[in-house]
Amino acid sequence: MKNSKTAVGVASMHGKESQISQGFKDLLDWEIVAVDIDTDSFGTFAGEVPRPLSPKETARAKCLAGLEASGLGRMIASEGTFSPHPMMPLITLNTELLFYIDKENDIELRQSFSTTEVVAFRETITKETDLEKLARLADLPNHALIMRTDAEPVKVYAKGIRTLGELQESIPGELDSKLIVETDFRAMVNPSRQRSIIECAKLLAEKLSSNCPGCQSIGWGIIEYERGLPCGDCGSRANREISAEVFGCPKCDFKEKRLIDGFASAANCDFCNP
């Protein structure tokens, strides 16, 4: 009799099970099961549904809703954010967070991945806007667009805009007020975000295929970083560079610190380059 695969659900209405499967395939031969729940009820990128919880709390709430809806014992949910990079405010930072709940092993853990390799277009349009130029700058048809109002409460005119024709047709008959046209960050119409989710899923798969040296539970991996690597030029602490990785277990209190062997670059030193 063949052993059945471990089944894990993915709580999503935007096809994220595809990215989770790609991220898991090299390390975990698990069965990825799509669990279709209304994740928009937890908040939307366009803003017509506010997100009251933090990204971590939102992803966890989606997991719990997926567990209840499916009857499965293991669930993954994701939450993505797009914000100015803390060190380079003109560049957009995409952070993907995957939350995992395992009722069988009684563990919860999360994994994040951040990158600036994203398309993040935003422009306020008027009657004079050159829509053909806008379509090129926004990377249509590779990345879709959203059209919404520039005021509260948010009114969304269209999502998933992929062509110049769809963009033109989405503009209301009388454009009396300004409209925002911006990248649609929903996973199924955003290939750069899909790549981020895949990379995050690879990191999560590493944790789920690693056992704690203390209790042997799955989920062993990096839980935090310490910063302050000594500068190679002056020897001062460079608080922008990682000095140690702290590994931990979601089941027990066992931790292990692994120091980074090396020196920080002067460019990231608080003294050499304040």
**H/E element, 131:** helix 131-137
Q: Is the pLDDT of residue 274 over 90?
A: no
Torsion of the alpha carbons at 17, 21, 23 and 25, rounded to the nearest 10: 170
User: What structural domains does the chain harbor?
Assistant: 1-116+191-209 (3.90.950.10), 122-184 (3.30.1490), 210-274 (no CATH)
Query: Is residue 158 pLDDT above 80, yes or no?
Result: yes
Task: Give CA–CA dist 96/93, Å, rounded.
Answer: 10
Cβ neighbours, 10 Å, residue 240 = 16
Distance CA 176, CA 151 (A): 13
Number of CB atoms found within 10 A of residue 176's CB: 7
For 168-218, what is each residue's pLDDT tens digit? 999 987 766 789 999 999 999 999 999 999 999 999 999 999 999 999 999
pLDDT at 173: 78
Whether residue 3 has pLDDT greater than 70? no
Least confident of 13-17, 229-233, 268-272: 268-272
Contacts of residue 5, Cβ cutoff 8 Å, sequence gap at least 6: 29, 30, 31
16 CB burial (10 A radius; 0-12, 13-18, 19+): buried
Write out the H or E segment, with its range, that includes residue 58: helix 55-70
Task: Provide the pLDDT for residue 175.
Answer: 67
pLDDT tens readout for residues 31-79: 999 999 999 999 999 999 999 999 999 999 999 999 999 999 999 999 9
